Structure 1
Amino acid sequence: MTTIRDVAQRAGVSQSTVSHVINNTRYVRPEVARRVRQAMAELHYTPNRLARSLRRKVSHTIGLITPDNANPFFAQVAQAVEEVCFQQEYTVLLGNAAGDPDRELRYIQVMLEKQVDGLIVAASGLRSEHLQPARLGHTPVVLVDRELPDLEADRVLADHRQGGRLATEYLLGLGHRRIACIAGPPDLSTGSERLAGYRDALAAAQIPPDDTLVIQGAFNLDSGYQAMRQLLALDNPPTAVFAANDQMAIGALRALWEAEIPVPEGCSVVGYDDIPLAAYTRPPLTTVHQPVTELGRLAAQILLARLTDPEQPARRHLLPVTLVERASCAPLSRSVSSLPGERL
C-alpha cells in the first residue's frame, strides 16, 4: 500500500511537507506543492480521511434530526442543509425521529458516539436536558423551526405567531367571524405559537373565543381530516378554517369534499408552510409561506460558522412569513346558510 513516505520520496520532499499540502495547514511553494500532487497521482495515493479526522478530532460530518422525513416541509429543510454542507465538504447524517422523543434522543446519542462535528435539530418533543450531552461534549447545536426553552443554542425560526395572525386576519377581512383552528401539538412551539397568533387576531377583532372551534391536530393528513369531521358535526359549523400546517389543511379539504361542502363557497381554508403540493390541491390552497429553504440553509451556515468560531454568543434568528393567496378562500356568502347548521 502506498504511504505518505513513498509520496515524499517520489517528490523529493519531507513527509511533513506532503502532510501540509494534503491538509493545507501551512504555505508550501507552488512548484513544491505541484510536485507533491504529481507524485500522489503517479502513485495513486489517496489520503486516509478517517485517520486524519481522528487525529484532528474533526469528522466532517453533521447530524440532522427531523421529526418527520415524510413531511415535505422537513424534506425541503434537509435538502437545503445538505446542499450547504456538501459545498463545504461536510457529510450529513440524517435521523428521522418519527415524532417520538425517545427515538429522537437515541439518534442524538448515536450521532454523538459517531463524533459528528455538530447537530441541527428540529425537535419533536425533546426536553432541553436531552441535549446536555452535546453541550458537555462541546458539540455545537442549532435548533431549526422549533424552540427548546432553557437551551443555550443558536436558533433559526420563522415567526409562527405572526403567521397564525396573518392567516386569521385574512379570513376576518373576508367577512368570516366563525373561524375554526386545527392546531398543532401544544407541546411544540410551532403549534402553540400559531394558535396564539390565531387567538391574537380574534381578540383584536373583539370576537369572543370559542373552544369548540379549536381542535388539536398532529401536523399530519389524518389529524386534519378527523378534526374537520369534528368541526362539521357541530350544530353551528365554522365558515372558515385555519389549519396550522398544509398537511392538516389538505386533510380538511378531503373531509369537506366527502361532506359535499364546496371550497371556498361553503367553507374557506387556509394552511401553513406553503409546501409544493399546496399549489396543486383542488382548489389550490391559500397558505402562510415559510422561507423553508432559507431556514435550512441558514441553520447549516450558522453551524459551520460556529465550528470555526465556537466562542461567539448564541443567537436567535427570526425569519418573516407571508400569506400566499390562492383559490381556497372567498368572502363570506349567504350561500353558506344552505349548508348544515346556521353558520352565521
Structure 2
Amino acid sequence: MATIKDVSKLAGVSVATVSRYLNKNGYVSKDAADTIAAVIEKLNYRPNTIARSLAGMKTATVGLMVPDILNPFFPELARAIEDAANDYGYTVMLCNTDNDSIKEQKYIDTLLHKQIDGIIISSYTIKPEHLTQLQKNSIPVVLMDNVFSSDSVVSLTVENRRGGELAVEHLLTQGCSKIAHICGPLSITSSRERTNGYENASRGTDWFSPSLIGYSDFTVKGGYTAMRELLALHPNLDGVFASNDLMAAGALRALQEAGKNVPRDVKVIGFDGIGLEMMTPELSTIAQPIYELGKTAMDSLIGLIRQETDIVTDQTFPVTLVAKQSTMTHN
C-alpha cells in the first residue's frame, strides 16, 4: 500500500506539500497540485484517516443527524449539506434517529468513537445533555430548527410563526371563512411557533374556536386522521393550514374521500416547500429555503472546526408563500 512518502518522492515535492494538498489547508501551486493528483491516481494512494486522526489531524468527516429520512424535507436538506461538504473535501455520515432519543445517544457515541470533526443536528428529540457531551469532547455543533441557550452552538431556524400567519392570511384572501389547523408535535419548537402564527392570525375573527386545531405528528397518516376528526367536528370548514407538507397531503386525501373538492370546497396549504409536484391538485405551501439552510449549516460547521471567530450563532431565515392549485380556485 502506497504511503504519503511514496507520493512525495514520485511527485518531487515535500511530504508537507502533499499533506497541505490532501487537507486543503495552506498554499499549493497549481503545477504541484496537478502533479500530486496524477501521482495519487497512479499509485492508487488512499490517506489513512485513522492514522491521520491519531496524529492529531482531522478525519474530514462530519455527522448529520435527522429525525425521519422518509420525510422528503430531510433528503433535500442532506443533499445541500453533502454538496457543501464535498466542496470542503469533507464526507458526511447520515444518521436517521426515528425521533428516538436512545438511538440518538447511540449515534452520538458512534460518531465520537469515529472521531468526527463536527456534527449537524436536525432533531426533534435532542436533549441539552447530548450537546454538553459533544462540547466536552470539543466537537463543534450546528443545530437546525431548534434553539438552546448556548453561545457555542450555532442555531439555524426559519420564521415559523410568520409562516403560520402568512398561511392563514393567504387562505383569508382566497375567500375562506372557517380555517382549521393541523399542528405538529407540541414538543417541537418550530411546530409550536407555526401554531402560534395560526392563532395570531385567527384570534379575534368571528369563526375561530380552539376545536378547529387538530393535533398530529408530521406524517401523511397523521394528517389524514386529524383531517377526518376536524371534518366530523366542523363539516362546514373551508380552509386548512397543516404545519408540514406531509400532513397537508394526508388532509387532502381525507377531504377527497369525504367528497370535498379541493380547492373549490376546501382550500389546503402546507409548510416546508418539499418537492410534491406529483400531487393533484399541486399543494400550496409556506416554503423554507431548504438548500440555503443546508449550505449555511455546513459553512457554519466548517467555521467552527477552523475556530473562526466571526460565526453568527443564531440565524433566522425568511419563508415564502408558494400559492399553487390547492388554494387557488382560478389557477
Do the structures match in fold with TM over 0.5?
A: yes
Which residue matches 1:21?
18
Report matched runs for 1:1-344 at 5 Å: 1-4=1-4, 17-24=14-21, 46-144=46-144, 146-152=145-151, 153-203=153-203, 206-207=205-206, 209-234=208-233, 236-277=235-276, 279-312=277-310, 315-330=313-328
Task: Provide, for residues 183-230 of structure 1, a one-character-per-residue CA deviation record: whole Å limited to 9, x for no partner.
Answer: 010010111010011011113x54474121111110000000000000
Structure 2 spans left out of the alignment, 5+ residues:
none
The percentage of aligned residue pairs carrying the same residue is 38
Letter in 2 for 1:294: E
SS in 1 for 2:55: helix
| Aligned alpha-carbon RMSD (Å) | 2.7
Letter in 2 for 1:271: G
Q: State the number of aligned residues.
A: 325
Between structure 1 and structure 2, the one with the greater Rg is: 1
Letter in 2 for 1:93: M
Compared CA separation, residues 110 and 314, structure 1 to 2 (3 A): farther
**TM-score w.r.t. structure 2 length?**
0.88
Rounded to whole Å, the distance in 2 between the matches of 1:324 and 1:118 is: 34
Rounded to whole Å, the distance in 2 between the matches of 1:137 and 1:101 is: 19
Rounded to whole Å, the distance in 2 between the matches of 1:329 and 1:10 is: 65
**TM-score w.r.t. structure 1 length?**
0.85
1:148 shift after superposition: 3.4
Letter in 2 for 1:80: A
SS in 2 for 1:309: coil
Rounded to whole Å, the distance in 2 between the matches of 1:125 and 1:228 is: 26
Structure 1 spans left out of the alignment, 5+ residues:
332-344
Compared CA separation, residues 263 and 23, structure 1 to 2 (3 A): same
SS in 2 for 1:95: strand
Equivalent residues of 1:127, 1:148 under 8 A apart: no
Letter in 2 for 1:82: E
Rounded to whole Å, the distance in 2 between the matches of 1:33 and 1:268 is: 58
1:238 shift after superposition: 1.7
Equivalent residues of 1:97, 1:124 under 8 A apart: no
Rounded to whole Å, the distance in 1 between the matches of 2:12 and 2:280 is: 70
Rounded to whole Å, the distance in 2 between the matches of 1:259 and 1:33 is: 65
Equivalent residues of 1:177, 1:207 under 8 A apart: no
Equivalent residues of 2:20, 2:28 under 8 A apart: no
Rounded to whole Å, the distance in 2 between the matches of 1:308 and 1:36 is: 25
Compared CA separation, residues 48 and 185, structure 1 to 2 (3 A): same
